[in-house]
Structure 1
Amino acid sequence: MSALAEVLVPARLGRPFRWLLASSWVSNLGDGIALAAGPLLVASQTDSAFLVALAALLQRLPWLVFGLWAGALADRLDRRRVVMAANTARAAVVAALAVTIVTGHVDVTVVLVAMLLHGVAEVFADTTTSTLLPALVRKQDLGVGNHRVQAGQLTVNQLVGPPLGAFLFAAGAAWPFVAQLVCIALAVVLVARIAASPAPDGAPGLARRAPAEHTHVRRDVAEGLRWIAGHAPVRTLALVILVFNVTWAAAWSVLVLWSRDHLGMSEVGYGLLTTASAVGGIVGTALYGRIERRFSLATVMRVCLLLEVVTHLALALTTTGWLAIVIMAEFGAYAFVWGTVSNTVRQRAVPQRFQGRVSAVYLMCLFGGLVAGQALGGVIAEHWGLTAPFWFAFVGAGVTLALVWRQLAHIAHADADDETPPTGHAAEPADDAAR
């Protein structure tokens, strides 16, 4: 293995993780392409602001409707096969949409239906994919594994994919969806390769125990919810994610108007705000290994959440565009670190048999928080001005952090309560290059 490959994907993580990581990066490239091409396609079919907004809602609504069921199925079926089937369904939807574009039969109704169906398949694909990493690597390597997955999402989904999607759409409306179709198909092939190699010693692996008795999916859902309700650290972390996504989305829902009307920034300036957050994420990517080694998880969690509170305050107070760009870069850096740490803490604490259901609840908190926050942000801005959502976010996030501050230490080490601790090797030392 080359030195570069060892830096990107340490050998100790095992070959199955490499297939999973490659699948994640390829799939995220396709999603990044669609991130730009989807809205462009909707806008090319209608001038209605309501329909444009509805398209975004239809992609998130399935999380609230099917999230719990997706989690239950992930815990009772072969997870690798569920991911492959769900991604195959996504590919079928994208292929059908591309055909309607090429044949000239596309209209806004077709696009909206395609986005809804794609969103439903994505719920099952993403929920189950999130359970694969903790099954393929040892607990002590979850931080490294999440770091590599998050880094790929940042670079290909947010930096590479959207510009490529816009370029392909300019060349022809069908091309970005053909490219997304190729990416999804390749991701399915890569996931299929996971079973070809055993997981490292000490990793749970994808093998699942047969259920002791036949159960209904509703019973599995209820069992998962009871487990979360009875596990204080996991329950509290889910509530933190819900509240912080409500406050974040409330502020960010008016970001484009705030930058234009409050800061006097142009369209290019608004683009620089989003670019700055991605650049900050790259900085967070570069620093994460050192942060994880030098600071406790509890300290990292507290600092990240505190920076979120301070960021809302700073954006509420700032009146200059260049300072807002600096703040957004800082946001991108800590947001990447928080995403990696929160996923790692959750995956370490949750037994394998509950990974799907707990992951589904977390994703529902994330998307539910985004939907609720966006609705609140618009109402707040209409009544009290464009800076009001940032003040709302500052107060809401600040009060929440104060309430959970002392509990974060217990949350960070919730894996000590795991009733099925992993067996195998102890934590291996890792040098800078491996992290």
Structure 2
Amino acid sequence: MRALRSARLGADFTRLWAASAVSNLGDGITLAAGPLLVASLTGEPLLVAGAAFAQQLPWLLVAPLSGVYVDRLDRRRLIIVVNVLRGLAVAGLAVAIAASAVSIPLIYAVFFLLGVGETLADTAFGALIPATVAADRLTIANSRLATTTVLGNQILSKPLGGWLFASAAALPFAVDAITFLAGAALIAAMRVRPPRGTATGRVREDVRAGLRWLWRHRLLRTLAVTMGVANVAFCAAFAVFALLARERLGLAAAGYGFLLAAFGVGGLVGGFLSARVQRAVPARVLLRGGLVVEVVTHAVLAATTEPLLAGAVLAVFGAHGVNWGIIVATLLQRSVPDGLRGRVGSVYSLVQVGGAAAGSLLGGLVGQVAGVTATFWAASAAMAAITVVSWRPLAAA
């Protein structure tokens, strides 16, 4: 029965879905293998963390600009070209590793290029979805995409990336290159020809148009600011989560892995059930309830010393996070005019990634000064404040 429902979403969406699944698996493999590669060259924690930051940095630097070009160009062709170029870049890294010619600057450069490509491809991908399915099927489509993203990017790819790297250091990056090319081939097989966006003026004016549209839409503005603050709180807390697991919960590396697995499994269940839940429960209730879940999650993790309770709370948090993302993606796709989807989507992503980057830095500082537990209490207090502020505007969902 589920297969029949998926079929009714159409062949173009099926290809888009498959491309997303393949690409997310490859991305997760590289995310797992990248730190291992840098760690094989240096023991400096800052340099190891720098690889991930190099891939996040383009979202802070060029996301709004990427949104402009998503609204200027054929989105389908843009994804194809970007995926091919990313595949070539990561294939070059694999060759350098195999030839023992890899260096940390080269890794940073490749990861930065992957991040630039991500700002273009991911923004174009989100803007392309409404061209493949009817508006009343967007929730189901987004739930399918979210489920495979969690499964591929968070659950399957991490152990696979580590195993491939242990087999041969170049292997995970070669596999990622293949997934980029496979994703490009699947997008090329789509028959849909989406219209180009309306960004045709000066780049600065086009960026401002996206900013203005998002700021004037009260609900989406509230969601953007709310998630920006939520990402500050979440990433601040989870920047020191490994220390909390060891010092408060008494867990070794395997136990820490169990907590991460609980988070991923919760996300998988949340994505699988999201369409059904959203049919039964109003969006405003789910969004408000999600904020309460975030407040409670941080507070429980700060207070408990029971690993099983922590795992259960993280599973609920994972389910909420995926469900929230599906609701927001659907709202953006339904509310934003097609010609503005790239710019508005990229600005929304910039707020989220900016919050995550700020939170990662802030969490280390708070943990250093006040202790690990204080970071989680501060995150809970911040989420309580944003819940109060955003409660009434979320009624419009």
Which TM-score tier does this pair reach, normalised by the shorter chain?
over 0.9
| Aligned sequence identity (%) | 42
Match of 2:301 in 1: 315
Gap change, CA 1:192 and 1:237, over 3 Å in 2: same
How far apart, CA to CA, are the structure 1 residues paired with 2:54 and 2:32? 16
Match of 2:324 in 1: 338
Gap change, CA 1:209 and 1:320, over 3 Å in 2: closer
Match of 1:190 in 2: 186
Instruction: Answer yes or no: is 1:78 the counterpart of 2:70.
Output: no
Match of 2:92 in 1: 96
Matches within 5 A, 1:38-117: 38-117=34-113
Instruction: Answer yes or no: is 1:281 the counterpart of 2:270.
Output: no
Amino acid at match of 1:207: P
On the 8 A contact 2:68/2:207 being kept in 1, the answer is yes
SS state at 1:263 partner: coil
Instruction: Answer yes or no: is 1:305 the counterpart of 2:291.
Output: yes
Match of 1:390 in 2: 376
Q: CA deviation at 1:64?
A: 0.6
Match of 1:268 in 2: 254
SS state at 1:207 partner: coil
Deviations 1:94-125, CA, capped at 9 Å, x for gaps: 01101101111112222122111221122111
How far apart, CA to CA, are the structure 2 residues paired with 1:134 and 1:313? 38
Amino acid at match of 2:152: V
Deviations 1:232-269, CA, capped at 9 Å, x for gaps: 22211111111111111111110001111122111111
SS state at 2:71 partner: helix
Match of 2:195 in 1: 207
More off after superposition, 24-33 vs 130-139: 130-139
SS state at 2:185 partner: helix
Match of 1:329 in 2: 315
Match of 1:247 in 2: 233
SS state at 1:387 partner: helix
Match of 1:421 in 2: none
Deviations 1:295-318, CA, capped at 9 Å, x for gaps: 111111111121111111111111
How far apart, CA to CA, are the structure 2 residues paired with 1:209 and 1:116? 27
On the 8 A contact 1:241/1:362 being kept in 2, the answer is no
More off after superposition, 321-330 vs 94-103: 321-330
On the 8 A contact 1:280/1:332 being kept in 2, the answer is yes
Deviations 1:130-170, CA, capped at 9 Å, x for gaps: 11112222221111111000001010111111111111111
SS state at 1:91 partner: helix
How far apart, CA to CA, are the structure 2 residues paired with 1:283 and 1:144? 14
How far apart, CA to CA, are the structure 2 residues paired with 1:23 and 1:145? 14
On the 8 A contact 1:135/1:352 being kept in 2, the answer is no
How far apart, CA to CA, are the structure 2 residues paired with 1:86 and 1:378? 34
Q: CA deviation at 1:43?
A: 0.7
Match of 1:201 in 2: none
Instruction: Answer yes or no: is 1:136 the counterpart of 2:124.
Output: no
List gaps (5 residues or longer) in structure 2.
Answer: none
Q: CA deviation at 1:209?
A: 6.5
Deviations 1:320-362, CA, capped at 9 Å, x for gaps: 2222111111111211111111211222111111100111011
More off after superposition, 222-231 vs 95-104: 222-231
Gap change, CA 1:281 and 1:4, over 3 Å in 2: same
Match of 2:25 in 1: 29
Match of 1:217 in 2: 203
Q: Choose from 162, 175, 179 the match for 2:175.
A: 179
Amino acid at match of 1:396: A
Amino acid at match of 2:230: F
How far apart, CA to CA, are the structure 1 residues paired with 2:332 and 2:238? 26
SS state at 2:189 partner: helix
How far apart, CA to CA, are the structure 1 residues paired with 2:152 and 2:194? 27
Q: Choose from 160, 163, 175 the match for 2:159.
A: 163
SS state at 2:43 partner: coil
On the 8 A contact 1:41/1:173 being kept in 2, the answer is yes
How far apart, CA to CA, are the structure 2 residues paired with 1:230 and 1:293? 28
More off after superposition, 342-351 vs 397-406: 342-351
Amino acid at match of 2:118: E
How far apart, CA to CA, are the structure 1 residues paired with 2:86 and 2:315? 33
Q: CA deviation at 1:396?
A: 0.7
List gaps (5 residues or longer) in structure 1.
Answer: 199-204, 413-435
Instruction: Answer yes or no: is 1:293 the counterpart of 2:279.
Output: yes
Amino acid at match of 2:19: S
How far apart, CA to CA, are the structure 1 residues paired with 2:208 and 2:173? 38
Gap change, CA 1:402 and 1:93, over 3 Å in 2: same
Match of 1:6 in 2: 4
Q: CA deviation at 1:210?
A: 6.8
How far apart, CA to CA, are the structure 2 residues paired with 1:16 and 1:235? 31
On the 8 A contact 1:262/1:386 being kept in 2, the answer is no
On the 8 A contact 1:33/1:164 being kept in 2, the answer is yes
Instruction: Answer yes or no: is 1:362 the counterpart of 2:354.
Output: no
**TM-score, normalised with respect to structure 1:** 0.88
Deviations 1:268-309, CA, capped at 9 Å, x for gaps: 111111001111122223322321111111111111121111
Amino acid at match of 1:136: T
Deviations 1:375-417, CA, capped at 9 Å, x for gaps: 111111111111111111111111111111111121x1xxxxx
Q: Which runs of 4+ in 1 moved over 4 A?
A: none
How far apart, CA to CA, are the structure 2 residues paired with 1:187 and 1:235? 32
